Chain A
């Protein structure tokens, strides 16, 4: 596992390094890679997540990706955009992106935006792993 603080400081020295922490776990059976997020996924952190996802996809081609969001209290449109772009990229590689552990508030927004058909969500990371293990 590795911890990385992700942030893209805008001009002016705005310090956003602690805004989003990403922890990675790789499936020993090479079915999935799990990224656990803690913090806020917003206009200041989405680029960091995008970069990290691209690195994971390049390092582990063919693996499915689980975004574990139980430590995330807020997702802005820029965060949802990263998920949709990642889903498109993985689809071309015949892999999948799934979400796990969203709280009630995020689940409502995810549903209201009609995202479940594109980026499915599981209540827990364990359930997401189980679903992807059979893919």
Chain B
């Protein structure tokens, strides 16, 4: 399965656009036979990253590319906003993050890190932000997979 969800125009952060992304991604993944647990984790991560794009990047559009094969769910998110490298932000946060000390909204990238693997960030040939990742399969094996698959 390979499908693209494109949201345009964005016009900043609105509940309608966030819901649109969430519902579209959920529908595509469930229709493709992705497990409910993986679908939930995927929509959680996509909503997190797309919310950040809408709120901070000034992007005019974003695209969510969804690939699912043999139970693996891979997602790529592109936007035409100002350059932002979540991988670097995650890398910096990983060095000094204490979950027990969180008092603001800095939890988003931590959550993304916990639910994904093979997380990559780049600027593509058109100068767009590109974030690619794989959703950890059904999170039941989360504890066992944790040490072996820390992203970035």
Contact = CB atoms under 8 A, between A and B. Distances in A.
Contacts of A84: 99-100, 102-103, 107
A77 B108 contact: yes
A81 B102 contact: yes
Interface in A32-60: 42-44, 46
A108 interface: yes
Given A84-B103, A114-B114, A19 B12 contact: no
Interface in B101-145: 101-108, 110-111, 114-115, 136, 139-140, 142
B16 A77 contact: no
Contact of B14 (A10, A88, A109): A10
Contacts of A104: 37
B44 interface: yes
B20 to A, nearest CB: 13
A114 B99 contact: yes
A28 interface: no
Contacts, number: 93
B13 interface: yes
A105 B48 contact: no
Contacts of A93: none
A112 B115 contact: yes
Contacts of A80: 107, 111
Contacts of B102: 81, 84-85, 88
Given A77-B105, A112-B114, A43 B13 contact: yes
Contact of B114 (A46, A76, A81, A113): A113
A112 B105 contact: no
B18 interface: yes
B13 A10 contact: yes
Contacts of B44: 74, 76, 109
A12 B106 contact: no
Interface in A78-95: 78, 80-81, 84-85, 88
B15 A16 contact: yes
Q: Name, among A43, A77, A81, the residue most crowded by chain B CB atoms within 10 Å (CB to CB).
A: A77
Interface string B1-37: 0000000000111111010001000000000000011
The 10 closest A-B pairs by CB, nearest first: A77-B108, A105-B40, A77-B107, A84-B102, A85-B103, A81-B107, A77-B111, A108-B139, A14-B14, A112-B142
Given A43-B55, A76-B47, 13 more contacts: A42-B18, A76-B44, A78-B107, A81-B107, A85-B104, A88-B101, A105-B37, A109-B41, A109-B111, A112-B41, A112-B115, A115-B99, A118-B100
